[in-house]
Amino acid sequence: MSKISLVLLLCAPAMAAVTGTVVNRTTAQPQAGATVGLYSFGQDGLDLVDQAKSDDRGRFTINREIQQGPHMIRSTLDAVTTT
């Protein structure tokens, strides 16, 4: 079972895109093909803002303007989710 984590997350405090790299914690190598979701905290729980797949170097970009405030990133690969 692979463990993955986000090593780099860049997000300005105002409206901005989110970029990062997904790394497999078992192999310490970039992880291709992970689904990365950006969530905001709504009144009824988490709301999916947008999602992207990591490329062959583990990089992802969510090109959606996001509102200022707390957000959460989740990455999923082969039914294993890391928050």
Q: Express each pLDDT in 6-16 by its tens digit.
A: 444 444 445 56
Q: β-pairing, 18-24 with 4-10? A: antiparallel
* pLDDT, averaged in runs of 10, over the chain (83 residues): 50 67 92 94 90 96 82 87 68
Check: CB of residue 18 under 8 Å from CB of residue 65: no
Side-chain half-sphere CA neighbours of 26 within 13 A: 6
The two tokens of residue 43 are: 């009144």
Q: What is the pLDDT of residue 72?
A: 92
Residue with tokens 């707390």: 70
CA distances from 5 to 9, 15, 20, 21, 34 (A): 11, 24, 10, 8, 10
